[in-house]
Amino acid sequence: MNLHDELGRHGADAAAESARSLGSVDVRDALGARVRRGRRRRAAGGAGVVAAVALVAVGVWSVLPGVPMDAHPVATPSASTPPDPRSADGAGLVIDEETAISDDAALDVTALRCGDATGLVSGVTAHDERAVGLQATAQLGKRADDGTIVERPDSVWAGYEVLYFDTTLTWGADEDLTVTLVPLLLDQDDVVAVGEPVDARSPFSWDRIHMPLPGDCATGAAAAGDGEYIAALAVATDLPNGDPAARFVFSAGPVEYTGLDVTVGEPEPIDPANPPELGSSGYLAATAVTQLTGDLSCTGSLAAAEVPEPDYSGEASNPVPVPLPRWIETGRLYGYGDDALIGGYPIPLGTDAAALVDQYGKGPARLVLSSDAGDAWVFDVSWSERDDLPHDAPGWFVELNQVWDCGGAGIIEPGDYQARLVHSDVEPGQPGTAVLTPVTIVSGVPSIPELDEG
Amino acid sequence: MTDDDLLGELLGRASTRLAAYGYLLTGSQHAGEDLVQDAIVKVFVRKRRIPNAAAAEGYVRAAMRSLHVDRMRRETVWRRLAPGQVVRDEVPDQTERIATADAVGRALATLSPRQRTAVVLRYYDDLTVADVAHQMRLATGTVKRYLSDALDRLAVEVGADVFDAERIAVVETEGRS
C-alpha cells in the first residue's frame, strides 16, 4: 500500500464536500471580504509605523506630537516601495551628523501609563548633538515553554509563550549613557500595558526586555482581553551629565494575544492570617513550567524537588492554574487534629476544577513539598467529585496522603514550601514534573473553625 | 491579475487539494475548511508578489502547516485545561463517518494530533523527517518516535505488514537527516 496515495485518496473523498464549498462563489466573496478587512486592520494597526518609516524615505520625520524629528533607519526603505510595518521591527535607528536636534522637552518614558493616548510613532528624536553616532536596535521575539524561539512573531499564546524585545545600543563616545527601556502594548494609540522600566548603561550588546501582558498596569488602568495589540518599546538615553541624548520608539506592529483568560499572573505571596478562601479563584496553585522528567517512584519524586523554580519575571511562561491548593491546612493533610494521622481529608477545589483535574488526574500523581533546608515531603494525590461532605459544598476535591516511607521527614510543619507535582501522561506515556507556585502550610483547619477549635 | 482574480483561480484549481490537505491535518471536515480559509486570509492579507495560482497554493499550504502546528500547540493546552471538549466534539462523529469509508480513515482517527500531523507531513507532503521536525518545531528524534508509533498504530488498524515499506523509508530518512 502506498501511503501517500492512500492519504490523498482518503483526504479527497472525505473532503469532497469541503472542496465544493471552498470553490463556491459565496466562499470566494466571503474570503475576499475577510482579506480586505484584514488589510484595513493591518493598515490601521501599523499605520503609525508605516507613516514614520515612509516619511524617513523622503527625509521628513514627525514623531510625538509637537516634536520635530530627524533620523535615519539603518536600512532605509526605497521611496517607491511602501515599507512593511513589520520591517521597522529589528531595524536599527542611528543618529548621524545630518540628524536635526530637537529643542523640545524630551519624552519621559517612565511617565507613560495605561489609559494614555500617546500618539507614539516609531523613530528617534535627537536632543543633543553629542548623541551623534548613537545607534539602537530592537527585535521582537517569542519564547514558548519548550524553549522554541520565534523571531518577529505576530501572535502569542499568553498561557505558555512570552514576548520580548532583544535590544542593542552602541555609541561612539568613550563615556557611557544612562539608558531606560520601557516595554509597552498599545491598542491603536492607547496604552494598555506598561512594563517595569529597565535601567542599563551603554554600550550593551543586547538586553532582553520582556513584554507585559495586556492590562498589566503599574499606574492607570486598561481593560484588555484577547485581541490584537501593538508591541512597542520606548528607550530613553541620557548623557553622563543627565541631559537627554535621544529618545527611541520601536514598534513591532500588531501582535494577536490569545489565552489571556487562562493565565493567573505572577503569584502573590499568601498571607497566612488572611489566605484566599477555599475553592476561590486565588486559592489554586499554578504552574508555568512542566518538564518531561521525573517518575512516580520515591527516588523520582524526591528528585522532582530539585527541578528549578522559574523566574516569573519573564523567562518562564505565564502561570496557569493546577487543581491543588496554594495553602493547605494540616488538619486536611492529617485528619481532624495534628495527632490523628488518619490520612488526607478532602480539600475543596471549587466546582470549576473538572477540566484541571482531567488534565492532571488521568493517572497517579504525587505532590512533593520541600523546604529551604532540603527536607522533602511526598504525598500521593487523588481527586474526586463529591457531594457528601458535611462541611464542604459539593464540588471537586483533592486528597493528599503522605508517603511515609519516602522522604522520612515526619509531619510537615506550618510554613512555606517549594512544590512540584509529578503526574502521568504529560505526553502520552510520559510522566512529567510541573513546577508549582509555592505552597503554604497552615496549622489546624481554619477553613472549618468549629472543627479546628474542637 | 488582481488579488480577487488570483483568489478565484486558486480556489478554482486547488480547492480539492487544499480541502483534502486541511482534512488530513485536522481530521475534521469543518476544521479543515476553517484551516484552508484562515490560511488563505493570512496569505492574501499581506501584500505579496504572488505570480500565479500555483505559487499561491504553495503559500497557502505553507500557511496551513504553520497555522495547524500553532493551533495544535494551543489546543494541547486547551485539551489539558478543557479536556475532552476539543476531541469529543469532533473525533467520535468523524470516526464514525470515516469508519464506514475506509480503513485508512479509521486508522488515522486513532492517532494523536501530533502523530497524525507527523504522518501527513511526512507521507502526504513528502517532507523529510528533518523538515517535519522543523515545521512542527520538534526534535527529529521526537518526530521519528511519533512516526514509528503512528505506523505501529496504523499497522494494527489496517494490517500488520501494510506499511513495511514506509517504515523502511523512515529508517533511510533517519540516516540522511
CATH label of the domain that carries residue B122: 1.10.10.10
Distance from first CA to last CA of chain A, Å, rounded?
73
Residues B112, B74 share a domain: no
Could A35 and B16 be called an inter-chain contact, meaning their C-beta atoms sit closer than 8 Å?
no
pTM across the whole model: 0.42
Could A23 and B81 be called an inter-chain contact, meaning their C-beta atoms sit closer than 8 Å?
no
Residues B110, B51 share a domain: no
Residues B146, B63 share a domain: no
- Residues in contact with B131: Cβ distance below 8 Å, sequence separation at least 6, in sequence order: B121
Lowest mean pLDDT: which of A31-40, B85-94, B95-104? B85-94
**pLDDT for position A13:** 84
- The mean of the pLDDT values for chain A is 75
**pLDDT for position A29:** 84
Residues B86, B9 share a domain: yes
Q: Which residues pair with A397 in a beta bridge?
A: A348, A384
Residues B75, B1 share a domain: yes
Residues B6, B81 share a domain: yes
CA distance A422 to chain B (A): 15
Q: Is the pLDDT of residue A316 over 60?
A: no
Contact list, B124 vs chain A (CB under 8 Å): 3-4, 7-8, 11
Helix, coil or strand: residue A320:
strand
Distances (CA, A) of A114 to A63, A209, A236, A249: 20, 18, 19, 17
Cell of B173: 530518512
Of A38, A84, A262, the CB nearest to B41: A38
User: Residue B118 is part of which domain span?
Assistant: 100-177
Matching residue, cell 529618545: A247
Neighbours of B175 (CB within 10 A): 7
Lowest mean pLDDT: which of A362-366, B17-21, B168-172? B168-172
- E strand intervals along A56-170: 61-62, 68-69, 72-73, 93-94, 123-126, 135-144, 149-151, 155-157, 161-170
Could B102 and A13 be called an inter-chain contact, meaning their C-beta atoms sit closer than 8 Å?
yes
**pLDDT for position A269:** 67
Residues B153, B104 share a domain: yes
Contact list, B166 vs chain A (CB under 8 Å): 3
Report the C-alpha gap between A181 and A235 in whole angstroms.
5
Instruction: Please say which residue of B54, B72, B94 terminates a domain.
Output: B94
Phi-psi region of A257 (alpha: psi -120 to 50; beta: other; left: phi over 0): beta
**pLDDT for position A336:** 55
Residues B105, B87 share a domain: no
Residues B85, B170 share a domain: no
Q: Quick one: B18 exposed, middle or buried, by C-beta within 10 A (0-12, 13-18, 19+)?
A: buried
CA distance B71 to chain A (A): 10
Q: Is the pLDDT of residue B8 over 50?
A: yes
Does B2 contact chain A (CB < 8 Å)? Answer: no
Instruction: Please say which residue of B56, B79, B94 terminates a domain.
Output: B94
Instruction: Please say which residue of B94, B116, B145 terminates a domain.
Output: B94
Could B83 and A358 be called an inter-chain contact, meaning their C-beta atoms sit closer than 8 Å?
yes
Lowest mean pLDDT: which of A37-41, A67-71, A286-290, A405-409? A67-71
Confidence of residue A236 (pLDDT cuts 50, 70, 90): very high
Residues B84, B108 share a domain: no
**pLDDT for position A14:** 81
Q: Please count the structural domains in chain B.
A: 2
Lowest mean pLDDT: which of A16-25, A134-143, A352-361, A394-403? A352-361
Residues B139, B53 share a domain: no
**pLDDT for position A313:** 47
**pLDDT for position A145:** 57
Q: pLDDT for B107-158, tens place per residue?
A: 888 888 888 888 888 888 888 888 888 777 777 777 888 888 888 888 777 7
Residues B117, B77 share a domain: no
